[in-house]
Structure 1
Amino acid sequence: MRMQPFTVLATEGQARRGRITTAHGTIETPAFVPCATHGSIRGVPTDRLRPRRSLRPRSGPASASGESDITPGEIPRLELILSNIYHLMLRPGIEAIEALGGIHRFMGWERAIITDSGGFQAFVFAERTSSRSSKNEGGPAQLRQGFAGQPSLRMSEEGMTFRSHLDGSTHLLTPESVIEMQERIGVDIGTCLDVCTGFPVPEREVAQAVDQTNRWAERSIGHWSSVTGQLLLYGMVQGSIYEDQRRRSAEFIRALPFAGFAIGGNMYTFGATLAELAAQKPRMWEVVGYTASLLPEDKPRHLLGVGEPSDLIAGVKQGIDTFDCVMATRIARHGSAWVRTEPEGWAYRRENLRSAEFSRSTAPIDARCACLACRRRVPRGYLRHLLVEQDPVAAELLTLHNLTFLATLMAEIRSSLEVGTFTDRFGG
């Protein structure tokens, strides 16, 4: 019988203050999970991410200021990062990671690691391959056009056969192979193979995807039960925007003995503009709230692909425990930083430090921030210069800033839940 890894320490409304126990330490929740998709957080050495003080589980709640008392360069309570089996299996390969001592030694990261199964990535790259729309970016011409005219993704009861976006080689993901790969490299939290649909799609297609995901989930549980490692396996809840499909998925998945649950599925239009995304958010949160309410209260809930600061607050209100997203690091590489706009609260704006208006600014990004750049009061004018010169130091400093921004936000959310002031601080 596997140990129950999750403990709820406090609640306020649907929001939960919890703790996840893994083979590589505890994760205090709610928490943001940075994406090291290819095995690293782009542009940031691992030792910049590792806290310089003990993160042993505490016997009691921390003070409101305890989690923010950090040293320059340290990201407060960063305890879990996410990587991706799709990318790792293609390069450098599971065997290479094993030969290097497992994923923790490979990445130089001693704390917990969660991996996505890779099914979503296979789907996304197939979408890009099959579309010649100018909205699809992020890959070479052969990625969008396919390799020698061959289909890049084929679904079957056995699993998901896809063609690598790197060289066109053919690979098969099955429920069993995904778990085996996560076990072999020593992942702490794994996810099972699922079927992701596009958006928008007819409900009948979503229903078929839910059915296949459910059948694969049963096989995943069967294989996971046969291994003796310390992997915690999360079940995947799908269903797009359709309430009936979300309910069918959640009711089936929650009946299986998963260690936790991940809420996935596209609820946005591929290639949507920022304005279109903003218009679609209310519907997304309605779906997330409904889905979370169907999941067990004694197991952790992870929301895939959400990382805007305001969305983290909204997700916590819906009962989500952990979130992952590439946004913080991606916008940093393009020169943008989140900055708080009020002394005590969490109103914020996104500033483009490439703008000429900062060319002579001597101010740090945010005087209240504890990141390396802000603690050392690196001027915005200098950061703009580095960005214009395409110096990688700029991307590193802005990435550390944005990750610190989110980690500090989550630390304050946890503290407010511990003392019962979450609603007062972050709204109902």
Structure 2
Amino acid sequence: MTAFSFSIAATDGRARTGTIHTPRGQIRTPAFMPVGTAATVKAMLPESVRATGADILLGNTYHLMLRPGAERVAKLGGLHRFMNWNRPILTDSGGFQVMSLSDLRKLTEDGVRFKSHVDGSEHFLSPERSMEIQRLLGSDIVMCFDECPALPATEEQVAQSMRMSMRWAERSREAFGDRPGHALFGIQQGGVTKELRAESAEALRAIGFDGYAIGGLAVGEGQEAMFGVLDYAPGMLPADRPRYLMGVGKPDDIVGAVQRGVDMMDCVLPSRSGRTGQAWTRRGQVNLKNARHADDPRPLDEDCACPACRGYSRAYLHHVYRAGEIIASMLLTWHNLHYFQELMDGLRTAIAAGRLEAFVADFHRLRAEGDIERL
């Protein structure tokens, strides 16, 4: 069996391009992971997601443990077989969703007791149970169980939360055990305080992980504050392991994160935007709900090779969205995922060629020009 490993092929400034090697295939970095929350990327077939250029998907521990249940997925052959995706899958730990979605939660050192947002049933999630669920799902990359403090929070609250997450990281490492071909990632916390981030990174390095995530960002602090943390946080983590920025993000967030040394990202944005009539293009965001598109025979983006742009007009996309037709979600989600993967490919190519600065300048220049003139 291929061992889990990471190799860096080229750097440009702090940006890196390389490959994460797993038994289920290679992941080209920087990588964007589409989110398949409940074992599906909404409005997409798995083979369509792969056709956009995705090497890896993200699944959600919290949602899958509630429905259909991790034990059931294991009995049916694991998450890869269950959802018909034979490439790598990363599962998050469930911590963020427990904090943000569930009712009547009770947090202790042991873990979190909570009521399901689906049917009100009671559940308990701890580092040990999170590791067990992710093992049952069979994911290739497993995330430590951590606490995500609700913002706004005082520095003392952030510090206490981070320290508990570090104790949970140690328990996660122990419970994960020895699983050849599978990887466990630790999660750095500490809010926007440099000293707390450094303390967290030191604790994680002492435990030792296959990769390291930067958690607790993209939760409403704003891009300037996020980039402020990313100016130093990735450098605190081992340079020879993948660095994963959780829950990011918009195209300009992704570009800025890659410039600062991030290797992996995930976000629901491309699929969620597609279902609400929003398209991401190299010229920025296009709102297909707007009446200006109703008579426009031109494609969404004439330089895009996705099915939405090759075969359909803005007028059609506007029509099917306004009519509530399912094909609107399908086409716009495909387009958005294609655009995000094309952006990642452009970043990888630019880093390898040592011309990232020029690529980023072009990226911002085109976005500043805005959408094509209306007819």
Where 1:375 maps in the other structure, the secondary structure is helix
User: Equivalent residue for 1:359?
Assistant: 294
TM-score normalised to the size of structure 1?
0.82
Q: Residues 180 and 38 of structure 1: is their aligned pair in 2 closer, same or farther, counting only changes over 3 Å?
A: same
User: Equivalent residue for 1:248?
Assistant: 199
Match of 1:319 among 261, 265, 281: 261
CA distance in 1, matches of 2:326, 2:341: 23
Where 1:206 maps in the other structure, the secondary structure is helix
CA distance in 1, matches of 2:341, 2:133: 29
Shift of 1:237: 0.8
User: Equivalent residue for 1:413?
Assistant: 347
Shift of 1:166: 1.0
CA distance in 2, matches of 1:267, 1:48: 28
Q: Which runs of 5+ in 2 are unaligned?
A: 363-375
TM-score normalised to the size of structure 2?
0.93
Equivalent residue letter for 2:47: D
Q: Residues 364 and 427 of structure 1: is their aligned pair in 2 closer, same or farther, counting only changes over 3 Å?
A: closer
CA distance in 2, matches of 1:43, 1:175: 32
Shift of 1:79: 0.4
Q: Are 2:3 and 2:181, in contact at CA under 8 Å, matched by a contact in 1?
A: no
Match of 1:299 among 220, 223, 241: 241
Where 2:231 maps in the other structure, the secondary structure is helix
User: Equivalent residue for 2:93?
Assistant: 117
Q: Are 1:196 and 1:266, in contact at CA under 8 Å, matched by a contact in 2?
A: no
Q: Are 1:192 and 1:233, in contact at CA under 8 Å, matched by a contact in 2?
A: yes
Equivalent residue letter for 2:145: L
State yes or no: 1:84 paired with 2:35: no
RMSD over aligned CA atoms reads 1.6
Q: Are 2:3 and 2:23, in contact at CA under 8 Å, matched by a contact in 1?
A: no
User: Equivalent residue for 1:13?
Assistant: 13
CA distance in 2, matches of 1:413, 1:283: 23
User: Equivalent residue for 1:393?
Assistant: 327
Q: Are 1:199 and 1:266, in contact at CA under 8 Å, matched by a contact in 2?
A: no
User: Equivalent residue for 1:308?
Assistant: 250
User: Equivalent residue for 2:43?
Assistant: 43
Equivalent residue letter for 1:366: D
User: Equivalent residue for 1:75?
Assistant: 52
Shift of 1:4: 5.4
| Superposition pairs of residues 193-342 of structure 1, within 5 angstroms | 193-225=145-177, 227-266=178-217, 268-269=219-220, 280-340=222-282
Cα distance per residue 1:223-277 (max 9 Å; x no partner): 223x4353210001111112221111111112222100111114544xxxxxxx6
Match of 1:104 among 80, 83, 96: 80
Q: Are 2:30 and 2:264, in contact at CA under 8 Å, matched by a contact in 1?
A: yes
CA distance in 1, matches of 2:346, 2:75: 40
CA distance in 2, matches of 1:267, 1:86: 19
CA distance in 2, matches of 1:20, 1:293: 19
Which deviates more from structure 2 when the two are superposed, residues 14-23 or residues 248-257?
A: 248-257
CA distance in 1, matches of 2:128, 2:109: 12
Cα distance per residue 1:174-204 (max 9 Å; x no partner): 1111112111221000101001111121111
Q: Residues 267 and 324 of structure 1: is their aligned pair in 2 closer, same or farther, counting only changes over 3 Å?
A: closer
CA distance in 1, matches of 2:46, 2:308: 17
State yes or no: 1:374 paired with 2:326: no
Equivalent residue letter for 2:37: T
Q: Which runs of 5+ in 1 are unaligned?
A: 51-73, 130-151, 270-276, 341-347
CA distance in 2, matches of 1:223, 1:99: 21
Cα distance per residue 1:52-100 (max 9 Å; x no partner): xxxxxxxxxxxxxxxxxxxxxx313x10110110000000001221122
Where 2:223 maps in the other structure, the secondary structure is helix
Cα distance per residue 1:277-327 (max 9 Å; x no partner): 6xx211111112221110010000111111211111100011000100011
Q: Are 1:153 and 1:163, in contact at CA under 8 Å, matched by a contact in 2?
A: yes
Equivalent residue letter for 1:161: R
Equivalent residue letter for 1:339: T
Q: Are 2:185 and 2:211, in contact at CA under 8 Å, matched by a contact in 1?
A: yes
User: Equivalent residue for 1:55?
Assistant: none
Where 1:167 maps in the other structure, the secondary structure is coil
Where 1:255 maps in the other structure, the secondary structure is helix
Equivalent residue letter for 2:249: G
CA distance in 2, matches of 1:228, 1:81: 20
| Superposition pairs of residues 171-186 of structure 1, within 5 angstroms | 171-186=123-138
Q: Residues 358 and 302 of structure 1: is their aligned pair in 2 closer, same or farther, counting only changes over 3 Å?
A: same
